Amino acid sequence: MIAAVCSATLVSCAAQTNDPDQTSDPIEPVNRMIFAFNDTVDLVLVQPTAFLYREALPDFAQDMVHNFVTWLRSPIVLANDLLQGDIDAAGDTSARLVVNGLTLGLFDPATDMGFQHRNEDFGQTLGVHGTGGGFYIVLPLLGPSNLRDTIGLIVDRFFDPLTYIGHVDYRPIYSISAKVTSAVDFRARNYEQINEMKFTSLDYYARVRTIYSQHRNAAIKNGEIPVDKTTPDMSREFEQFVPTSYPGDQTGDVPTAREPVN
Amino acid sequence: MPAVRHWLASVVVALVVVAGIGSAPIAQALTEEERAEAFIRDLSAEALKVVADETLDTASRRKRFAELLGQHFDMAWIGQFVLGKYWLRATPEQRTDYLSLFEDSIVLTYTSRFDEYAGQQVRVLGSKNVRSKFIFVKSQIFDPENTKAAVNVMWRALPIADSFKIVDVVIEGVSMSITQRNEYSAVIQRGGGKIKVLIDALRKSVDRLRARQG
């Protein structure tokens, strides 16, 4: 089934991931507009909410929220563990689903018992089976993605019990509440880092774009970075790179360090 | 699980080396990988010591931290790598301006919020050199009070003479050098392919960072 999805819809993607220099971004003007919109939503809504959340809630309560939204995702993770043929991970995820389920997902005794959490989604599953990312897409409210991962998001909805549980009229509310909580949790946990990234970027959009694609590539390989001759984005540019000259240097020796700033 | 065994073996070796005191005769018997691991271990230990040193004021700690960065990161190498194909097109003046601004921007970025590293610890997990001109040292940065939230950090070190220079840091799969290169090339492309646009943007950013530090 996966192979069919890949070949039917994503054949063109593989060709577009060859350039190691930039993530393929043919709809950049549209992406930049949506990115600016998302950034505004962050500034006026998500960031202030995350700030209050961090200030008002004690750490243990924030941990409970985090544990809960992580636990809610475990059926999706489990389905993708299985689709990736990773039986060990599927065992760990099942154990987490049951053990943490005994605490309604509010605590995380499973990690202490050695069942590690590792996030999986259908975008990663496609990646494991060889599908390239395709072009970059910034989704309204949901943020950075690409063609493969957008399809992944849609497929993951089918693995999510929140899609089926409860009265049909209220189902979207559950899903949206879970997404919003998860977003606030993420923003609060990365509060300084995100603000810092905005402050230090020359081009915040371009920085997020490259970080997203590198991060996804690493996630597909479950963090096992192939260190032999390739970079995280699978190119060989580090190996091939030879500095042509150092300023003021005639010998080819490495220059001495400059006087540090400050 | 041969990979895991390899890492474990390296860690055991590293522990033995540390316990056996870093005296000169032992140092000669070490492989390049082991020396690279020791290099990262010493460097991170020293950096974290500087950050936590309460006998120094913030400005002195920042200065010391910047010195460590300048000593052990090959800024000229990284700077050229990050500029990529545009390096070849840059005039000598642009190269000098760019490299100087690049180094300032790195140092200011990494020293501005460096208090956050206080209390963190680094454990070196092993290293690899697979027919490459670099040695990769794998490590984890963690908070001893919350060991669940360990961050995987890989260092790309270039052997130079008897020591090493760091040319890239990969944090949870995200390479700092690649990230910067992609961002810079986007700035240049949007500026109509002009390197001057990047240099101006860098200068503004460095001024802003410096103003914040006061």
Q: How high is the pLDDT of residue B102?
A: 96
Phi, psi of B166 (to 5 degrees): -80, 130
Cβ distance B127 to B138 under 8 Å?
yes
pTM: 0.83
In the structure, what pLDDT confidence band is assigned to residue B12 with cuts at 50, 70 and 90?
A: low
Map out the domains of chain A as residue ranges: 23-240
Name residues whose C-beta falls within 8 Å of residue B22's C-beta, 6 or more positions apart in sequence.
B38
The share of chain A scoring above pLDDT 90, in percent, equals 68
Question: What gap in Å lies between CA A141 and CA A19, rounded to an integer?
Answer: 28
Test A223 with B131 for CB contact under 8 angstroms.
no
Specify the DSSP class assigned to residue B114: G
Test B130 with A227 for CB contact under 8 angstroms.
yes
Q: How high is the pLDDT of residue A4?
A: 46
Does position B9 have pLDDT exceeding 60, yes or no?
Answer: no
Q: Is B121 exposed, middle or buried (0-12, 13-18, 19+ CB in 10 A)?
A: middle
Average pLDDT, chain B: 84
Q: How high is the pLDDT of residue A206?
A: 97
Q: How high is the pLDDT of residue B121?
A: 87
Average pLDDT, chain A: 84
Average pLDDT over residues B109-138: 82
Please choose, from the candidates A27, A23, A16, the residue with its C-alpha nearest in 3D space to the C-alpha of residue A213. Answer: A23
Does position A34 have pLDDT exceeding 90, yes or no?
Answer: yes
Strand, helix or coil for residue A36: helix
Least confident of A42-51, A131-140, B43-52: B43-52
pLDDT greater at residue B116 or residue A30: A30
Please choose, from the candidates A259, A109, A132, the residue with its C-alpha nearest in 3D space to the C-alpha of residue B71. Answer: A259
Q: How high is the pLDDT of residue A260?
A: 42
The beta-carbon neighbor of B185 closest among A22, A218, A237 is A22
Question: What gap in Å lies between CA A181 and CA A189, rounded to an integer?
Answer: 12
Q: How high is the pLDDT of residue A261?
A: 42
Average pLDDT over residues B123-147: 84
Q: Is B142 exposed, middle or buried (0-12, 13-18, 19+ CB in 10 A)?
A: middle
Q: How high is the pLDDT of residue A21?
A: 54
Best of B162, B179, B208, B209 to substitute, by most chain A Cβ atoms within 10 angstroms, is: B179
Q: State whether the Cα torsion B78-B82-B85-B87 is positive or negative.
A: negative
Please state the separation of Cα B12 from the chain's center in Å: 24
**Model pLDDT for residues A235-253, shown as the tens digit of each residue:** 567 877 877 755 444 433 3
Q: How high is the pLDDT of residue B100?
A: 94
Does position B4 have pLDDT exceeding 60, yes or no?
Answer: no
Radius of gyration of chain A (CA): 21
In the structure, what pLDDT confidence band is assigned to residue A11 with cuts at 50, 70 and 90?
A: very low
Contacts of B99 in chain A (CB under 8 A): 247
What is the least distance, in Å, from the CA of B200 to any CA of chain A? Answer: 10
**Complex ipTM tops 0.90:** no
